[in-house]
Amino acid sequence: MNSHMDTVIINRLKPNNVDDVIKIEESAYGDHHWSRESFLNEIQNELARYYSVTTPEGKLAGYAGCWHILEEAHITTIAIAPEFRRKKYAQALLKKIIDDCYSEKIKYITLEVRKSNKPAINLYSKYGFSSFGTRKGYYQDNNEDALIMWTKNIFFDEFKQNYEKTVANLEKEITIK
């Protein structure tokens, strides 16, 4: 085990996290970000699961959210503060989302991502998502298209084997609590 390994803590997002979330939202999405009220509503939504990733010192490094609808999960957002990017924190959040889908017997996970967001597309592809089309002009700020990405059934061996291998590699680089 790497003694210099980062440790992150993942918890359900709470209303008292929202002010810090908005700071990350602004850095990630500029003027076209969700409002404080939107996050407070999402945290209360019974279909939604929102998570924070924090450092052991308690600094909010990022957050993610998804909706669970029947046997499908839809990832609504994943964002990491600029100073914590490229440190596997988004992977830790994505792992939490996928693990919850396993525990709640959700078979498919979907999301939209900007066609220009290559780091996010690469992350999702690494975790078994594939693009199955586009939403033309999906993003209101610049009319950019979104890729629609889906997993195959996460209970199928093809997905599970890739996921387990990817997570094993992740856990060599970061400790998730």
Break the chain into its structural domains and give their ranges: 6-176
Average pLDDT of 47-58? 94
Q: Which fold has domain 6-176?
A: Aminopeptidase (3.40.630)
User: CB neighbours of 122 closer than 8 A, spacing ≥ 6?
Assistant: none
What pLDDT is attached to residue 72? 97
Catalytic residue chosen out of the listed positions 89, 124, 127, 163: 124
The owner of tokens 């100073």 is: 83
Asked if 51 contacts 13 with a C-beta cutoff of 8 angstroms, the reply is yes
The SS3 of residue 141 is: coil
- Taking the alpha carbons of 56, 62, 68, 73 in that order, is the dihedral positive or negative? negative
Q: Is 112 an active-site residue?
A: yes
Query: Per residue in 73-117, pLDDT tens?
Result: 999 999 999 999 999 999 999 999 999 999 999 999 999 999 999
What pLDDT is attached to residue 6? 86
- 72: nearest Cα among 109, 27, 124: 109
Residues 45 and 79: their CA atoms lie apart, in Å, by 19
The owner of tokens 């690469």 is: 122
What pLDDT is attached to residue 4? 60
Residues 87 and 54: their CA atoms lie apart, in Å, by 12
Query: Per residue in 134-172, pLDDT tens?
Result: 999 888 777 889 999 999 999 999 999 999 999 999 999
DSSP 89: H
Query: Per residue in 1-46, pLDDT tens?
Result: 444 678 999 999 999 999 999 999 888 777 667 888 989 999 999 9
Asked if 97 contacts 76 with a C-beta cutoff of 8 angstroms, the reply is no
- 111: nearest Cα among 142, 53, 155, 72: 72
End-to-end Cα spacing for the chain: 16
- Entry pTM: 0.92
Residue 57 has pLDDT above 60, yes or no: yes
What pLDDT is attached to residue 32? 64
Catalytic residue chosen out of the listed positions 29, 72, 108, 112: 112
